[in-house]
C-alpha cells in the first residue's frame, strides 16, 4: 500500500468529485465546469476543516476505474477524489507521510501574481 491508499484506507468517507461538462438548459459545452467544481470542492474542504475533520484531496487514483465503478454518465468528468474523516494521530501514519501532516509553507504572492503577460 502506498500514497493515497495510506490516507484513504481508514477514512469515514471517500468522495469522487465529478463535474458536468455540459449546460442543463441547452446541452452546450460548459467551459468552466472544472473551475466551478473546484470552487465547490474548496467549500467542502473548508467546511470539513471548520468541523474539525481531515479532508484530503487526491489526484493519484484510477480515474477511468472510478467512472466505471460509479457508472458516471458520458457528460460528466471525474475530477478528483477526497478522503474525509477524523484526523488520526500522526504516529499511525508511515514515517514518510508524517511530515505531510504539518502545514506547508506558501509561496510569496510576488512569486505567483504577475502584472501583464507571462514572461
**Domain presence at residue 72:** yes
Percent over 90 (pLDDT), the chain: 64
Structural domain containing residue 81: 4-112
What pLDDT, on the 0 to 100 scale, is given for residue 2?
58
**19 by DSSP, 3-state: which?**
strand
Residue 37 lies in a domain: yes
Number of domains in the chain: 1
Which pLDDT value is given to residue 7? 66
Residue 3 has a pLDDT of 66
Within 21-93, strands assigned E span 53-58, 76-86
118 inside domain: no
Specify whether the CB–CB gap between 80 and 58 falls below 8 A: yes
| 20: helix, strand or coil | strand
Determine the average pLDDT of the residues in 80-87.
Answer: 94
Residue 95: which pLDDT band, with cuts at 50, 70 and 90?
confident
Q: Is 104 among the domain residues?
A: yes
DSSP-assigned letter for residue 99:
G
Asked if the structure places residue 62 within a domain, the reply is: yes
Whether 24 is covered by a domain: the verdict is: yes
Residue 119 counted as domain residue? no
What CATH code is carried by the domain that includes residue 60? 3.40.109.10
Structural domain includes residue 82? yes
Per-chain mean pLDDT for the chain = 90
Amino acid at each position: 500500500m502506498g500514497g493515497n491508499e495510506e490516507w484513504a484506507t481508514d477514512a469515514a468517507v471517500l468522495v469522487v468529485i465529478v463535474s458536468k461538462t455540459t449546460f442543463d438548459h441547452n446541452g452546450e459545452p460548459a467551459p468552466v465546469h472544472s473551475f466551478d467544481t473546484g470552487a465547490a470542492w474548496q467549500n467542502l474542504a473548508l467546511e470539513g476543516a471548520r468541523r474539525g475533520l481531515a479532508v484530503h484531496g487526491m489526484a493519484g487514483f484510477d480515474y477511468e476505474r472510478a467512472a466505471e465503478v460509479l457508472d458516471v454518465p458520458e457528460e460528466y468528468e471525474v475530477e478528483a477524489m477526497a478522503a474525509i474523516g477524523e484526523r488520526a494521530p500522526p504516529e499511525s501514519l508511515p514515517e514518510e507521510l508524517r511530515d505531510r501532516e504539518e502545514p506547508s509553507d506558501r509561496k510569496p504572492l510576488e512569486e505567483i501574481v504577475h502584472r501583464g503577460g507571462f514572461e
